[in-house]
Structure 1
Amino acid sequence: MKKLAIIGASEFQAPLIIKAKELGIETHVFAWKCGDVGESIADYFYPISITECEEIYQQCKKIGIDGICTIGTDLGTIPVSYVANRLGLVANSEECVKKATNKHLMRKCFEKNGDPSPRSVEISGSQDVEDCEFDYPVICKPTDRSGSRGIYKVNNKKELLDAVDKSIEYSFEKKALVEEFAEGQEYSVEYISYQGMHHFLALTKKYTTGAPNFIETGHIEPAPVSEELLEKVKSVTEHALDSLEVTNGASHTELKINHNGNIKIIEIGARMGGDFIGSHLVQMSTGVDFVKCVIQVAMGEEPKVIRNDKTNHAAVRFVFGENEKKVFATIKKENPSIIVGEHFDKITDEKVVDSSSRFGYFMLKAEVADEILEYMPRNEED
């Protein structure tokens, strides 16, 4: 039986663990022991923090793994690359992962290679704010976090000084990135790569709370754009993937497109998108088993990108309060057949500050986009 090491045991990794077991692959899961779902559903669980790359490597060497991967987490890609490159397995290079998990290094790479992206500057503390010579508004965020953590849109120097301190607190390396604010609708682009060949899977339209924190309120696939614009997005994304040296595995590119069709790449994760984008929406909308593709690449196999003959429309909407529960109740009454999944936590007075503090979600699927769109939130760009 082939053996797959999986980094992380949270609910993000559950679809990966389940899919590997369905494929007859023995799963070896590494994570800090804290009662996450992966601890109980894995064939073997190792209570080793995902930051302990050398310890994970030594254990994987003993096990004799055939592949290693993770989904939906930037931090998990670091031990994946570390272990794979020492055992001669398939993964991105450590240099690639270094750039893909640090927004400042990523921006330097984009600038060097001519990829369209907002200008930015790295900040170590409020004393560096004078180096920011951008017109307001600007975005301030940690250099090395995801999930909408520590992101702020600020309109003046006073707000920036406050935001820098907050973003640095969120950062693992205690640094922030201050960047030009890019106008336009936000999208993400989902790809699977193998040996440097990039296979486009889906373009996702993103819904957010807008300024100041841009917490994601929902996603829908396929994004309603023209074929001409889609081809432009593919070209820009693939060039940027090459710039970052992404060669193997999933990628999740976040970008903005303004009313003139100009594209600005916000960032690229050398991993599958979270928020059910990679684990659920891609397969629901295209038929491509994205999770299976990730496993195939990790095991040194070319991914089988098999699409349905007919495209469906798939979406997820997240729960921020009672309003979303009312919307869900309306769907159950008016069009229950489009509901494919839901989870609701108890709604409290706690403010939603990032993706991890939302109160649940519901997922929808339909043959006609309009059946879903009427139940999605509104964006400023809509």
Structure 2
Amino acid sequence: MNKIAIIGANEYQRRLIRKAIEMKLEVHVFSWLHDRKHINSDISFHEVDVRMIDKILSICKSVDIDGVCSISSDLTNITVNYICNKLSLPSNPPNVLRLTTNKYLMREELLNNNAPVPLFSSNKDNINFNFPMIVKPTDRSGSRGVTKVTSKSDLSEAIKRSSQESFSNEIIIEEYIEGREYSVESFTLDGKHNILQVTEKFTTNAPNFIERGHLSPARINTEIKEKIFNVIKKSLNILGIITGPAHSEIRINNQGDIKIIEIASRIGGDFIGSDLVINSTGIDYLQLEIKRSLSINIDKSELQQKSLNNIMSYFFFSNEDQLNFNNIRHIVKLIDYKIINKPKLKVTDSSHRFGYAVFEVNTSDIELVIKKLNLDKN
């Protein structure tokens, strides 16, 4: 029986864990103590900080692990890639993780190779673009520390907030790009980048741009889709990604110009990679990543779209959001629904949202659902 190590056990990682169980693997989970209560007792749970990479490496060696993986988190992705490189398991070169977990270094590499990116700086005294601007940590996800700044008087406070959220106390300042936001899920196999799905993203807009919901597939035409595919494949090459998943975030303005916001060498979070891809396309993204990590052969047919369904996710920020969803529940097909926390007075990043729904919607009802859920405010 193959032994798989999964780093982390949050809401999204638990879907990966369930998939590994479904594949009848011996599953070893490495995570913090508070995650143990969510894990089946018949799984080997190792209570350890996911940043303690050498300790996790030692345990993986002792149990003779065959593969290591995680989804949705840059933090766990760093640990995964480090261990895989040490154990000669399938992985990207270390430089890929250096670039795809640091937004400033990533942006530099893309710019130097003529990929379309926003103007940016790491120094408030060396900015060559105008307000509004976006300030964010170089090494966090989930909208943590992200602020849209419209005047010089607010810049220092935004930088302070982003620095505090950053693991390295480093920030990036970039020009604000008007337009809709999308994510692109891909899987690289045998050196070929396969685009699995393009997802449309709905956020709270300024100042923090916390994700409120998603739609897969996105409402884009064939011409724009082809442009996205070309830009993403070029960018994955620039960053040196040679194997496995990638989660790319882009903005497209009204003229159809694409700007790359960031690219992660992992499966996307917020149920995009774990739920939306498989339910909208029939492509089992999680199984692909587990098989790749274990060096199990992947047939190219597994990367081909088998269905085309409209799948949405919707996150609850308030009791009103929950009520809005209940009002459209009769016209959608529910896939998953959960209340996680009590509603807070203010949601400042993705971790503060208190629940979610994942559901299928008929094409004829998409616009109505988006309107009723107050999503389309871009």
| TM-score bucket (shorter structure) | over 0.9
Aligned to 1:236: 231
What code does the residue aligned with 1:168 have? S
Aligned to 2:335: 340
SS of residue paired to 1:146: coil
1:324–1:139 distance in 2 versus 1, CA, 3 Å: same
CA deviations 1:332-381 (Å, max 9, x no partner) are 3x42x522221124653420111110121111113x32324322233333
1:257–1:11 distance in 2 versus 1, CA, 3 Å: same
Match of 1:144 among 134, 139, 142: 139
SS of residue paired to 2:215: strand
2:367 matches 1:370: no
Match of 1:360 among 319, 340, 355: 355
SS of residue paired to 1:132: coil
1:61–1:346 distance in 2 versus 1, CA, 3 Å: closer
Question: Quick check: 1:11–1:38 contact (8 Å CA) kept in 2?
Answer: no
What code does the residue aligned with 1:268 have? I
- Separation in structure 2 between the aligned mates of residue 188 and residue 55 of structure 1, nearest angstrom: 34
- Separation in structure 1 between the aligned mates of residue 189 and residue 247 of structure 2, nearest angstrom: 15
- Separation in structure 1 between the aligned mates of residue 303 and residue 233 of structure 2, nearest angstrom: 20
Amino-acid identity (%): 38
Query: How far did residue 325 of structure 1 move?
Result: 1.8
Residue ranges of structure 1 left out of the alignment (5+ in a row): 124-128
Aligned to 2:87: 87
- Separation in structure 1 between the aligned mates of residue 39 and residue 263 of structure 2, nearest angstrom: 29
- Separation in structure 2 between the aligned mates of residue 362 and residue 155 of structure 1, nearest angstrom: 33
Question: Quick check: 1:33–1:39 contact (8 Å CA) kept in 2?
Answer: no
Question: Quick check: 1:255–1:267 contact (8 Å CA) kept in 2?
Answer: yes
2:314 matches 1:320: no
CA deviations 1:168-210 (Å, max 9, x no partner) are 0000000110011111100000011124221111000000010
- Separation in structure 1 between the aligned mates of residue 286 and residue 206 of structure 2, nearest angstrom: 32
1:10–1:155 distance in 2 versus 1, CA, 3 Å: same
SS of residue paired to 2:227: helix
2:169 matches 1:165: no
SS of residue paired to 1:150: coil
Aligned to 1:32: 32
Question: Quick check: 1:287–1:306 contact (8 Å CA) kept in 2?
Answer: no
SS of residue paired to 1:147: coil
Aligned to 1:181: 176
RMSD of equivalent CA atoms: 1.6
What code does the residue aligned with 1:294 have? E
Question: Quick check: 2:194–2:303 contact (8 Å CA) kept in 1?
Answer: no
- Separation in structure 2 between the aligned mates of residue 347 and residue 375 of structure 1, nearest angstrom: 25
- Separation in structure 1 between the aligned mates of residue 344 and residue 186 of structure 2, nearest angstrom: 38
1:195–1:55 distance in 2 versus 1, CA, 3 Å: farther
Question: Quick check: 1:365–1:372 contact (8 Å CA) kept in 2?
Answer: no
CA deviations 1:239-293 (Å, max 9, x no partner) are 1111111122211100000111100000011111111100001011000111101
What code does the residue aligned with 1:340 have? I
- Separation in structure 2 between the aligned mates of residue 355 and residue 41 of structure 1, nearest angstrom: 29
- Separation in structure 1 between the aligned mates of residue 326 and residue 106 of structure 2, nearest angstrom: 43
Residue ranges of structure 2 left out of the alignment (5+ in a row): none
SS of residue paired to 2:259: strand
Aligned to 1:103: 103
Match of 1:272 among 258, 267, 270: 267
Normalising by the residue count of structure 2, what TM-score does the alignment of the two structures yield? Answer: 0.94
Query: How far did residue 36 of structure 1 move?
Result: 4.2
Query: How far did residue 35 of structure 1 move?
Result: 3.5
SS of residue paired to 1:261: coil
When structure 1 is superposed on structure 2, of 256-265 and 46-55 the one drifting more is 46-55
What code does the residue aligned with 2:112 have? K
Question: Quick check: 1:78–1:94 contact (8 Å CA) kept in 2?
Answer: no
Aligned to 1:350: 345
Query: How far did residue 303 of structure 1 move?
Result: 3.5
CA deviations 1:59-88 (Å, max 9, x no partner) are 111211111110010011111111111111
- Separation in structure 1 between the aligned mates of residue 344 and residue 66 of structure 2, nearest angstrom: 47
- Separation in structure 2 between the aligned mates of residue 121 and residue 115 of structure 1, nearest angstrom: 16
Question: Quick check: 1:364–1:372 contact (8 Å CA) kept in 2?
Answer: no
Aligned to 1:249: 244
- Separation in structure 2 between the aligned mates of residue 149 and residue 189 of structure 1, nearest angstrom: 21
Query: How far did residue 302 of structure 1 move?
Result: 4.3
SS of residue paired to 2:34: coil
Aligned to 1:126: none
Question: Quick check: 1:150–1:170 contact (8 Å CA) kept in 2?
Answer: yes
Query: How far did residue 118 of structure 1 move?
Result: 0.8
Aligned to 1:379: 376
Aligned to 2:308: 311
Aligned to 1:287: 282
Aligned residues: 373
2:40 matches 1:45: no
Question: Quick check: 1:187–1:254 contact (8 Å CA) kept in 2?
Answer: yes
- Separation in structure 2 between the aligned mates of residue 253 and residue 344 of structure 1, nearest angstrom: 28
Question: Quick check: 2:53–2:79 contact (8 Å CA) kept in 1?
Answer: yes
- Separation in structure 2 between the aligned mates of residue 302 and residue 31 of structure 1, nearest angstrom: 28
Query: How far did residue 31 of structure 1 move?
Result: 1.6
Aligned to 1:226: 221
Query: How far did residue 52 of structure 1 move?
Result: 1.2
Match of 1:191 among 186, 194, 204: 186
- Separation in structure 1 between the aligned mates of residue 41 and residue 286 of structure 2, nearest angstrom: 17
